[in-house]
Structure 1
Amino acid sequence: MDFQPSPRGKQTAERVRAFIKEHIEPIEAAHWKGIHEKRHGGHWTEWTIPPVVEELKAKAKAEGLWNLFLPDAELGAGLSVLEYAFSAEETGRSLMAPEIFNCNAPDTGNMEVLWKYGSAEQKEQWLKPLLAGDIRSVFFMTEPDVASSDATNMAATAVVEGDEIVLNGKKWWSSGVGDPRCKIGIFMALTPNPDLGRHNQHSMVLVPLDAPGVEIKRMLPVFGEYDEPHGHGEVHFTNVRLPLSNVIAGPGRGFEIAQGRLGPGRIHHCMRCIGAAERSLELAIQRGLDRVAFKKQLINLGGNRERLAEARVAIDQARLLTLQAAWKIDTLGVHAALTDVSAIKVVAPTMLQNVVDFAIQIHGGAGVSHDTQLTAFFNQARSLRLADGPDEVHKGMIARLELMKYGQK
C-alpha cells in the first residue's frame, strides 16, 4: 500500500490550499458573522445566499478547482478516491470551502448516485445543473417516528401505481433543504414486495421540492445552531405522485444504490474531519503559546503538552486509516473496504470531537463562542457520530465481518 499522493493528487491539494488561503480565509469570519447577525431561527423562507459565495464559486470554477470529488475526467476532475482525499482534507479546514469547490454534502453523494445509476433523462434534468453549481439538493432518509439506525425500519413508502410512484411519509434531518437554491431531493422509502428479501424492498426517487404534497414543516437546530442557509428540515410527503421515470435505477434497488453512495462519501467526511482537527490543533497551539497563566504559557500548564501529543497521534492514525480505506475502494472496490469504511466512520469524528474539546479548553470562554471555528467543528464532529449510521452500527458491522472469518454470523 502506498498512501503518498500521486503528482496529480498532490498538485490539486496544493492548489486547493492556496485558493483557500488567498480567497476564503480573508473573508470567512466576516461571512459567518453576517449570517449570524441576520439569524431568523427556523424561518427558512427568509434565508438568503451572500453574494460572495457565488463569486467565489465562479473563481474556483475558472481555476479548474471544481467537482474534484467525481472520478470522471469529463464531468469532474477525474481524481481517484485516494487522490481526492488530500483535497478533501484541505477543504475540511474551512466551514465554507466545500461549497466553493462544489464538493459539499449532500450534493456530492447525490451527484455520484445520478452519475452512476441515473438515466440519461435524469442526468440531463438534475445532474447537469448540480454539476454546474446552479442548484442544490437534499437526501431524504432519516425518519422521526422509527429507529432510523436500522434502515429496514423505514416507514415512508414509495408505491408503484401504473406509470406513477406515490410517496407518503415523514423525513427529518434533511440537510440542505433550507437552502433557497435546493430544487431536488432523493427520497428513500419502502416499496413493498413480498417476493423479495428485505434489502430489495426500498427505492430511491427523485422528488422536485415544488411537487404537490411536499411540505417543509420546520428547521431543526443542532445544539442551537440552524446552519443557515443550509438547514436541516423535517419534511412531510402526502400522496406525492411522480412519474415512474423518477425512480433511480428501478424500484427495489435503494439499498444497492446506498452502498455505492456511502463508501466514497464517508471518505470525504472523514478527510474533512481530519482537516478540521488539524485546524483545531493549530488554534490550540497558537492560543497555548500566546496566553500566560500562573506565570507559564498555557501550553506548559498541567497536562497540556501530553494532550497535544495525543492529539497529534490521533490525527495521524485517523488519516492513515482513512487513506487505507480510500486505497481499498480504488483497488478492490467498496465491498472489499467495508470494515475500513466502518472503522473510519467511528474513528475520525470521535478523534475530531476529542481534539476540538482540547482546543476549546485551551481557549476558555472564547472556545464556546462564535469567535473561532471551534464550536462549529464540535457540532460537526458530534453530529457525524450519528449521521450515516451511529457509531454502534458501524462497530457492529466491524464485529460481524471479523466473526465471519471464524464461521460466525
Structure 2
Amino acid sequence: MSCLTPLLRSPSRSSLLPAELAQIHLNISQNLLREAQLLAQVDAIEAECQQAELEHRSILQEINSNLTDETISKFDTPISTISTIQVPSPLIPPLPSPMAPPLSSRGPVMIPVGESKELSPSASSLLRSLWAKIGYEGSAFSGMQVEISKELSRADFARFERQMLLIAAEDRTFKTLMSEREIAKNAIQSAQKGVEKIVLAKDKEVQKSKALNEELERLDQERISAFRYAKNAEEQAAIANLTAKAATAVAVSAVNSHPNTPRLSSYHNPNLTSSSWASPSASYAHSSSLASRSPYPNHSNIPSSSSYNTGVESGWSLDDEQKLIAKMKERKKEKMISEERRALNERMYSRLELEKLGANLPSVSRNPSPSSNQQYHHDHPPTPKKVDWNNPLIGSSSTTAKRY
C-alpha cells in the first residue's frame, strides 16, 4: 500500500507522464502479487487450523476411549460439613502449567462448606448423567471433587492455552488480511479509474489538436487562395491597362494618319489616357472618322459632308450614345460595389477566424497594387505603331462600335 500512496494523494492525474503510468502499472502488478502471497498464507493458516482441529478430535476420541461408562449407584448420602480435604498425590505426575503452580505444591485444597444441603431430584439426575457420561466414580461430593482435582492435575493447560492463542492469532491474521485485501482492491480500482481518466483526457487532447490542425490547414488554404486571387486581379488589371494603352495608341495613330484631322497626342489628351469615358461629341466624331475611312489604302480617305448624316440615318444618335455610356458606367459602378462588398465580407470572416484561433496571420489585401511592369509602362508609354490598313477589322464601323 505504501507504493500506491503517492498516486492516491496526487491532486492532478491528468498531468501524468507515460513513465508514471508505467510505474502505476508496476505498482498494481506488485499489489496483485502481494495479494496472491497473502492468500497463500491464509490458505496455509487454514490448513494448520484444520490439522490442529484434527489433532484435537483425535485427543478427544482417545479420552473418550479411556473413559468408562459405569454409573453411580448411590447418591443418598447428604453432604456433610467438611473442613479440609486432603488431595492425594496423583499417580501420573502433572505437567507444569503457566497459569498456576501444580496442586501438590499448594497443599490441601480448602473448600468452604456451609450447612448441609441436599440436591433436588432434577439436579441429582443431571449430576448422575454427567458423572456417568464422564466416567467418574464416587457416592458423594467429596469423591467427585477428588476426581476433578485429579483431572485438573493431569490436564495440559499450556497446550490448551497455546491452541487458544493460535486460534486468536489466526483470527486476527485473517481479519488483517481481509482488510488489507479490501484496501488493495480499492486502491487498484482507484488507480484503474485514474488511468482511464488520463486516457480519456489524452484522447480529447488528440481530437482537439486534430481539429486545430484542420482549422489551421483550412485557414492556410484560404490565405493562399486569397493571395492567388489578389495576384490574378493584379495581373488582370495590368493586362487591362496594357490593352487600354494599346487601344489608345492605335486610335491616336489612326486619327493622326488622317490628312485633314488635327494631330492628337495620347500623352496630353486626358480623354484618351484616363480610364474615364470621353465626351459624347468627341466619341461620335472619332467613331464617324473611323467609319468613313476605307479599309483599303488605295481608296480616298477624304471625309465627306454626308458622314454625319449617314450616322444619323443608320439609327445611331448622340442620345443613344449617352445612354449607352451611362449604362456602362452604372454597370461598372455596380460591379465595383459588389467586389468591394465581397472583399469586405471575406476580410471580416477571416478576421473573425483569426481572432477565434488567436493567430496573428498577415492580412492579404484584395486591392491589386501596381506592379513593376505596370509602373514601367506608366513611366514609359508605348510609341504609336503604324496601322495596317490592309486589315479589314480596322476600318469597319461595326467592329469599332463593338470595341467601344
TM-score relative to the length of structure 1: 0.18
**RCO higher in structure (CA 8 A, sep ≥6):** 2
Between Structure 1 and Structure 2, the one with more strand by share is 1
Compare CA radii of gyration and give the structure with the larger one: 2
Between Structure 1 and Structure 2, the one with more helix by share is 2
TM-score relative to the length of structure 2: 0.18
